[in-house]
């Protein structure tokens, strides 16, 4: 994959980018075979390959620069680097990042300055869901305090008019000067707190603080693989450890006609209250 940010040494977050993707997969497969050889596995299938561009469904951007010229990206060598055109994101996600950047400027929401410890807006987090051939979005503002909360609440309809299917918007308050992405307090300012995502015809839901795999295409195939493994086994109980929003477990107990198999008892183990709520 070609990336101008990496070529210009503005962003080095993908250190393996110079290695051909197939070479990366081959090396990882060799490591896996080496680790599993003592256990004499009956079969080791070839690794599942991802798309190389536009595969990430979540963008986490630091908000840098000034109120007149906000920058969404990273700080590299003391320079703010705008990553709105990062090729890891889809074209639609790149467009939305630019819309949000413009919104920040027009609303005068002051980016947080790490060195001066001044400002308000620390991060922007956008999640993209592709369900039923339609993209939907979740947007989170991470602020130092509640100073701009009412202003964002009162103007969020402007963003929704520019971003089609912006279903969930929330504000997270992270008051500490620390390398922490988010704080404990989360304020959902839309009526709906859930972003639906459909994988293998199974409807899943994610909230602002619940974890979900960042590669939707690979997640879909991971779930299908797990489901295929258990399809013909005499199973009456499944424990889904660290289940998140329930993708693996629900895939394993869902019939071809999308009904839940009542013959299998599914138990999910999870500590995130948001994820548990979504799974239920």
The model's pLDDT over 226-242, given as tens digits with 9 standing for 90+, comes to 999 888 888 889 999 99
**Strands 166-173, 237-241: pairing kind:** unpaired
Confidence at residue 78, expressed as pLDDT on a 0 to 100 scale: 86
CA 42 from centre of chain: 35
Query: Mean of the pLDDT values across residues 143-152?
Result: 97
> What percent of the chain is modeled with pLDDT above 90?
79
Confidence at residue 259, expressed as pLDDT on a 0 to 100 scale: 65
- Going by C-alpha positions, the residue among 167, 99, 158 that lies closest to residue 138 is 167
**Confidence check: pLDDT of 102 > 70:** yes
Domain edges within the chain: 58-192, 216-279
Contact (Cβ atoms closer than 8 angstroms) between residue 188 and residue 255: no
The domain made up of 58-192 has a fold known as: OB fold (Dihydrolipoamide Acetyltransferase, E2P) (2.40.50)
Cα(126)–Cα(278) distance, rounded to whole angstroms? 18
Query: Mean of the pLDDT values across residues 201-212?
Result: 91
Residue 175, number of CB atoms within 10 A of its CB: 13
Cα(29)–Cα(43) distance, rounded to whole angstroms? 13
Q: Which residue has 């939707």 as its token pair?
A: 216
Query: Mean of the pLDDT values across residues 150-178?
Result: 95
pLDDT band at 256 (very low <50, low <70, confident <90, very high): low
């Amino acid at each position: 994959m070609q990336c101008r940010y990496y070529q210009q040494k503005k962003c080095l977050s993908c250190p393996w980018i110079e290695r051909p993707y197939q070479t990366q997969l081959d090396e990882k497969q060799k490591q896996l075979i080496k680790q599993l050889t003592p256990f004499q596995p009956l079969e080791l299938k070839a690794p599942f390959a991802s798309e190389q561009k536009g595969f990430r469904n979540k963008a986490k951007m630091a908000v840098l620069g000034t109120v007149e010229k906000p920058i969404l990206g990273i700080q590299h060598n003391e320079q703010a680097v705008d990553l709105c055109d990062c090729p890891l994101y889809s074209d639609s996600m790149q467009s939305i990042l630019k819309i949000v950047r413009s919104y920040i400027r027009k609303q005068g929401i002051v980016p947080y300055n790490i060195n001066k410890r001044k400002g308000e807006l620390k991060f922007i987090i956008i999640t993209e869901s592709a369900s039923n051939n339609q993209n939907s979005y979740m947007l989170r503002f991470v602020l130092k305090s509640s100073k701009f909360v009412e202003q964002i609440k009162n103007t969020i309809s402007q963003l929704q008019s520019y971003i089609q299917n912006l279903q969930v918007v929330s504000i997270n308050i992270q008051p500490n000067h620390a390398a922490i992405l988010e704080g404990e307090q989360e304020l959902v300012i839309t009526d709906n707190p859930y972003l639906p995502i459909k994988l293998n015809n199974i409807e899943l839901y994610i909230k602002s603080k619940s974890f979900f795999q960042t590669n939707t295409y690979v997640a879909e195939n991971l779930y299908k693989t797990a489901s295929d493994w258990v399809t013909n086994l005499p199973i009456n109980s499944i424990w889904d450890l660290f289940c998140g929003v329930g993708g693996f477990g629900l895939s394993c107990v869902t019939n071809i006609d999308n009904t839940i198999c009542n013959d299998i008892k599914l138990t999910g183990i999870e500590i995130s209250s948001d994820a548990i709520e979504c799974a239920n």
